[in-house]
Structure 1
Amino acid sequence: MTASVSDPVVRKFVAAVNAGDKDAFFADVLTEDATMSDDGSERDLAAWTEKEIFSPQANGRMEVVEASDDGRSLVVDYTNDTWGTMRTRWIFTVAGDRVSRFETGQAPS
C-alpha cells in the first residue's frame, strides 16, 4: 500500500494514520503550524483529524490507490467507521521532513 508512495514524508503520514498513532502524527509528521482543507474549506486541523481519523468512533485508514507528483498527490480509498469507504484525493506540501499542509476531498469519479 504505502510502497507506491515515493515521498518518504507522505509515506510517514499514511503510516501514522493507518497505525492510529496520533502522537507520532503531530510530533513527527506535521510541522507545528501545519494547515489543512477539506473539500476546499479550511478546517481546524486538530479538530478535523480527531473527528475524521483518530477518535475511536472514526478509526481512519488510507489505502493508496494512485500516487503522482513525486508521491505528494494521492488518490486514496479512505475508510473510517463514521462514513465508510470513499475515494478521496490528498495533496501534500512538504517542508523539510514534515508535512506543512494537506488538502483532501472527494476524488473525481
Structure 2
Amino acid sequence: MTAHNPVVAAFIAAINNGDRSAFAATLAPGATMSDDGSDRDLDNWTEREIFSAGGRFTVETQEPDGLTMLARFRNDTWGEMKTRWRFILTPDGSKIRRFETGQA
C-alpha cells in the first residue's frame, strides 16, 4: 500500500530505496523525530535504524490524510516489527517537520 500523502509517500520510497538525499529532501530544516515517545537525534537515528541497517517500510493501514499509519518496519538490527507512525507537515504541506514512531 502506498501512503495517501505524497510527501509521506516520498519519505517511505526514499527509505525503501536507501536514498539518503531523497529522504533529506522530504524533511523541513530543523525537522525532529521521536521513537517510542522519546525525542531522538534525527540524523543519528535515521543512519543507525534505517540507512546503515537496511531499513524497509511497508504501510499496512493509514488514516485518510496519510499522516498516521501502522506499518511493518524491518531492519537488519531488529528484524521486522509492527510500528506506528505519525507525520506533522510544514504549514504549506510540502515537507515533514516532525515524525513520531514506535512499536505498535
Q: CA deviation at 1:105?
A: 0.1
Could you list the per-position Cα deviations for residues 61-105 of structure 1 after superposition, in whole angstroms to 9, with x for gaps in the alignment? Answer: 001000115100010000001000000000000113110000000
Residue number among 51, 56, 69 corresponding to 1:61 in the alignment: 56
**Structure 2 stretches lacking a partner, 5+ long:** none
Question: What is aligned with 2:85?
Answer: 90
Take 2:12 and 2:48, find their aligned partners in 1: how far apart are those partners?
A: 17
Deviations 1:13-72 (A, max 9, x none): 11111011011111x1001110000000000000000000011xx100001000115100
User: Which position in structure 1 is the counterpart of 2:13?
Assistant: 15
Normalising by structure 2, what TM-score? Answer: 0.95
TM-score w.r.t. length of structure 1: 0.90
Q: How many residue pairs were aligned?
A: 102
Q: Is the 8 A contact 2:74 2:80 kept in 1?
A: yes
| Structure 1 residues 87 and 20, CA gap change in structure 2 (3 angstroms) | same
Q: Structure 1 residue 35 and structure 2 residue 32: aligned?
A: yes
C-alpha distance in 2 between matches for 1:39 and 1:10: 19
State the alpha-carbon separation in 2 of the partners of residues 13 and 67 from structure 1: 15
